[in-house]
Amino acid sequence: MGNDLKLRRWRADDCRLLHEWRLHPENRRWFGDSSEVSYETHQAWFGRFMADKSRFGFILEEDGRPAAQIRFDPAEMPGCYRISLSTAPDCAGRGLGGQILRMGCASAEMQGVAALFVAETRIDNLPSQKIFQRQGFVEAGRHVYAGAEYLAWVAPSARLAASHRLSLRILADEPVIEGLRRMLGVTGLADISDEAEVSLFFDAASSEDAEGGRPVLHFNTAAGVILDLANDVPFRLSLPVEFRTVAVAVAQTAAALHHTAARP
């Protein structure tokens, strides 16, 4: 690995380079959509990305040469961002994926807007899983997309990790609660307490808070993980909202509550 690593934002002239990296078989085989995207289609997508102020793309340069890329797209809840990254085809296996993940998440741009980072890796993509594990991401459940099984990952931003501790009341089956307790505890996103002001309830469970003026959210898992009720929450949502896993839904909810409370 070179001594001079520099992170910079995507530029207009990166369009063709990113398209070439996307088409390379070693990168494309891990994508949810592994189809061969035409340059015209990619160019139109790239233009929309660059014009959208809520999205962020970075290139990692090694000794002045592009070596990896990462992008951050808004996830389902306020303050939450979904990550996609790849390395230059001739730079695989050299630790640059971990470098750009660390540097991108720590960048001033992302620390200014992000409370939580979310990612997915194919269940058989062990190198990518190690990248996220080594950078402090926590496994947040499994899901199936386009016939392939994925692992979900979450990590709070440094800004969120330094904020006050949040407490949630969760009404669900005990195995679900225990899994969420572990994930929330490891990430530091929240504690679970029956005395909490914010209630999350799942499926047939009911909450007396629903009519009581307290923040309350209901998730339906019968056909996915779908948020279909959100009363008195301090941020705007267009319901229903669909998530990949229960753990991702709860992590994003906790992060959105932190993010909203921290705004001036």
**Same domain membership, residue 63 and residue 10:** yes
**Same domain membership, residue 54 and residue 177:** no
Residue range of the domain that includes 12:
5-159
Q: What is the count of structural domains for the chain? A: 2
What CATH number is attached to the domain comprising 254? 3.40.50
**Same domain membership, residue 190 and residue 71:** no
**Same domain membership, residue 80 and residue 201:** no
**Same domain membership, residue 150 and residue 59:** yes
Regarding beta strands 116-122 and 80-87, do their DSSP bridges make them parallel or antiparallel, or are they unpaired? parallel
126 CB-near residues (< 8 Å, 6+ apart)? none
DSSP letter for 57, please. Answer: E
**Same domain membership, residue 120 and residue 27:** yes
The per-residue pLDDT for 148 is 86
**Same domain membership, residue 166 and residue 150:** no
**Same domain membership, residue 136 and residue 25:** yes
The residue among 128, 159, 190 that closes a domain is 159
Residue 202 has phi, psi (to 5 degrees) of -120, 135
DSSP for 141-167 reads EEEEETTEEEEEEEEE-HHHHTSPPPE
The per-residue pLDDT for 205 is 77
Closest CA to 154 of 136, 180, 179: 136
Alpha helices in 169-245 (DSSP H): 174-187
DSSP letter for 172, please. Answer: S
**Same domain membership, residue 219 and residue 170:** yes
pTM of the shown model: 0.93
**Same domain membership, residue 96 and residue 79:** yes
The residue among 132, 159, 186 that closes a domain is 159
**Same domain membership, residue 139 and residue 117:** yes
- Stated as kind and residue range, the H or E segment containing 218 is strand 216-220
The per-residue pLDDT for 93 is 80
Left (φ > 0), alpha (ψ -120 to 50) or beta: where does 185 sit?
alpha
The residue among 134, 159, 184 that closes a domain is 159
Q: How do the pLDDT tens digits run along the chain, 264 residues long?
A: 556 999 999 999 999 999 999 887 676 665 655 667 899 999 999 999 999 999 999 999 999 999 999 999 999 999 999 999 999 988 878 899 999 999 999 999 999 999 999 999 999 899 899 999 999 999 999 998 878 899 999 999 987 766 677 999 999 999 999 999 999 999 999 999 999 999 999 998 777 766 667 899 999 999 899 999 999 999 999 999 999 999 999 999 999 999 998 665
Alpha-carbon span 258 to 30, nearest angstrom: 32
**Same domain membership, residue 184 and residue 139:** no
The per-residue pLDDT for 234 is 93
The per-residue pLDDT for 146 is 79
